[in-house]
Amino acid sequence: MSGTLHRLLRQRRARVAMALVALLCLAAALAPWLVPYEPTAQLDLVRGQYLAPSAEHPFGTDFYSRDLLSRVLYGARISLAIAVLSVVLSVTIGTAVGLTAGLAGGVVDAVLMRAIDAALAVPRVFLLLVVLVLWENVGVVGLIAILGLTSWFDASRIVRAEVLSLKTREFVVAARALGLGPPRLALRHLLPNLAAPIIVTATLGIGQIILTEAALSYLGLGVSPPTPSWGSIIAEGQQALAVAPWVAAFPGVAIVVTVVGFSLLGDGLRDAIDPRAR
């Protein structure tokens, strides 16, 4: 693993990505101490509306005179937390399903994979919209569950493919020859060998989920106001694009930076872990 880190740090792209991601995570973690104002505090509804960026309000203020920097920082917390937790959920399910399908083979594999094909045939955004419209006020936990439960298909296919190739490796045959049963084989022998593709899938998945969550919140189906999430801040700023473009611009930039950061990190990890990909 130290070799992987070394190869990762040798790529300039990956170094930039790591710095970006680290900065974001730090900002999100320390938001309560970093923010100049409460993110939901309406500072001055009369004279504080749509103030342009200034020393006092580096990102300006919104319609309710709330400090945008504080809202974007708190939004990072919400958006990253949702993304990380739903990726953990989706990767866990995906790994479990992929391991089961790959190791069991035969009918089990065929049934699981055809079910996943069928699920993938339904457009994801459409599926999410239907679920969220039917389930009012999902809340953050509900949102995490929905995002996680609808995004494990790719992870399971990647894991299954990897298991199929690992299964023919001699050390798996040797372990079976010494009486290791399927559960022990899967958890002790295969899972550690799957760490690399799983980490890469998860990293790339975070960027994806942040985009999805932002899109849903923008449509008003994700995180509900006044809780700040990047998507909902953009939605609020949309009404004032002409007079106060900064309201929508700053969270937008935050999304771009985050998604690019995680994508570059994922690509870098993939190259660092798999020497053939270069």
Q: Report CA-CA distances (Å) from 170 to 100, 105, 122, 165, 175.
A: 20, 18, 39, 11, 9
Asked if residues 263 and 206 have their Cβ atoms less than 8 Å apart, the reply is no
Q: Under the criterion CB under 8 A, does residue 176 sit at the interface with another protein?
A: yes
Stretch binding another protein (CB under 8 A), from 37-45, 78-86, 191-199, 210-218: 191-199
Query: Which H or E element spans position 83?
Result: helix 68-104
Q: Under the criterion CB under 8 A, does residue 171 sit at the interface with another protein?
A: yes
Q: Under the criterion CB under 8 A, does residue 263 sit at the interface with another protein?
A: no
Q: Under the criterion CB under 8 A, does residue 45 sit at the interface with another protein?
A: no
The overall longest dimension of the chain from CA atoms, in Å, is 78
Tell me the one-letter amino acid at 213: E
Stretch binding another protein (CB under 8 A), from 7-15, 121-129, 172-180, 234-242: 172-180
CB of 175 to another protein, least distance (A): 7
Q: Under the criterion CB under 8 A, does residue 107 sit at the interface with another protein?
A: no
Asked if residues 101 and 112 have their Cβ atoms less than 8 Å apart, the reply is yes
87-84-262-12 Cα dihedral, nearest 10 degrees: -110
- Whose Cβ is closer to another protein: residue 15's or residue 167's? 167
Q: φ and ψ at 67, to 5 degrees?
A: -70, 120
CB of 224 to another protein, least distance (A): 44
Asked if residues 142 and 135 have their Cβ atoms less than 8 Å apart, the reply is yes
CB of 272 to another protein, least distance (A): 16
Q: Under the criterion CB under 8 A, does residue 4 sit at the interface with another protein?
A: no
Q: Report CA-CA distances (Å) from 237 to 148, 187, 243.
A: 28, 48, 10
Asked if residues 259 and 26 have their Cβ atoms less than 8 Å apart, the reply is no
Binds another protein (CB under 8 A): choice among 9, 120, 125, 174: 174
Q: Under the criterion CB under 8 A, does residue 22 sit at the interface with another protein?
A: no
Question: How many residues line the site for another protein (CB under 8 A)?
Answer: 18
CB of 273 to another protein, least distance (A): 12
| Contacts within 8 Å (CB) and 24+ apart, 121-126 | 124/150, 124/151, 124/212, 125/212, 125/215
- Whose Cβ is closer to another protein: residue 119's or residue 195's? 195
CB of 178 to another protein, least distance (A): 4
CB of 154 to another protein, least distance (A): 23
Q: Report CA-CA distances (Å) from 35 to 38, 56, 79, 223, 254.
A: 7, 12, 17, 20, 16
- Whose Cβ is closer to another protein: residue 247's or residue 273's? 273
Asked if residues 31 and 73 have their Cβ atoms less than 8 Å apart, the reply is yes
Stretch binding another protein (CB under 8 A), from 68-76, 178-186, 217-225, 236-244: 178-186
Q: Under the criterion CB under 8 A, does residue 193 sit at the interface with another protein?
A: yes
Stretch binding another protein (CB under 8 A), from 23-31, 62-70, 85-93, 165-173: 165-173
Residues lying near another protein in the complex (CB under 8 A) are found at 169-171, 173-181, 184, 188-189, 192-193, 195
